[in-house]
Structure 1
């Protein structure tokens, strides 16, 4: 992924329900077959997007790059699955906190549309 391609667009309609949420992220990011389909596993996979050798995602970014995940139809997602919405926000923040605590930089940004 180049510096100019640092935005992934996801449809909030496809993220409603725990199974659908994890299936969609696993498909879009290319998580490994052993992906645990829970937020701890999501955090682990998203924490290493700039380390392709970690094998936790087929979608990778360059070191120092921040990936923006744009959630379209976020209002419906937030209304239909408020706990998942909160889990997404907290988990993305935790990924960035974990990385900055280890001396690295943030890797995730979230943007919301409609």
Structure 2
């Protein structure tokens, strides 16, 4: 299972979250740096859309792990809450397309 590791030790704000996400996921330069754009970039991981460096096979899952998640929770708990919500929304999109969920969140 491919893994994208976000470093919760350096995420202290939405700006740093989007900086880390752009780097870790390989989002394009025109990435909108908001959660709607984040969702869009991760909604087509099984297609060749170039919105992320990850390309999943038919039933493959991308594990999004947040390292030092307790530190992130101390600095910006709302980011973890939003991550949980957005990953669920993305997986619902995959379900709507008749595909298996593509994302799993692991807090470390």
TM-score (norm 2): 0.92
The equivalent position to 1:60 in structure 2, one of 30, 39, 55, is: 55
The equivalent position to 2:3 in structure 1, one of 7, 10, 15, is: 7
The aligned counterpart of 2:22 is: 26
TM-score (norm 1): 0.87
- Which has the larger displacement, 67-76 or 53-62? 53-62
CA distance, structure 1, for counterparts of residue 12 and residue 82 of structure 2: 12
- Matched residue pairs, number? 108
CA distance, structure 1, for counterparts of residue 46 and residue 23 of structure 2: 18
Unaligned 5+ runs, structure 1: none
Which structure shows the bigger proportion of residues in helix conformation?
1
Q: What RMSD, in angstroms, separates the aligned Cα atoms of the two structures?
A: 1.3
CA distance, structure 2, for counterparts of residue 58 and residue 88 of structure 1: 19
The equivalent position to 1:78 in structure 2, one of 50, 73, 96, is: 73
Establish whether residue 109 from structure 1 lines up as the match of residue 104 from structure 2.
Answer: yes
4+ residue stretches of structure 1 with deviation over 4 A?
Answer: none
The aligned counterpart of 2:64 is: 69
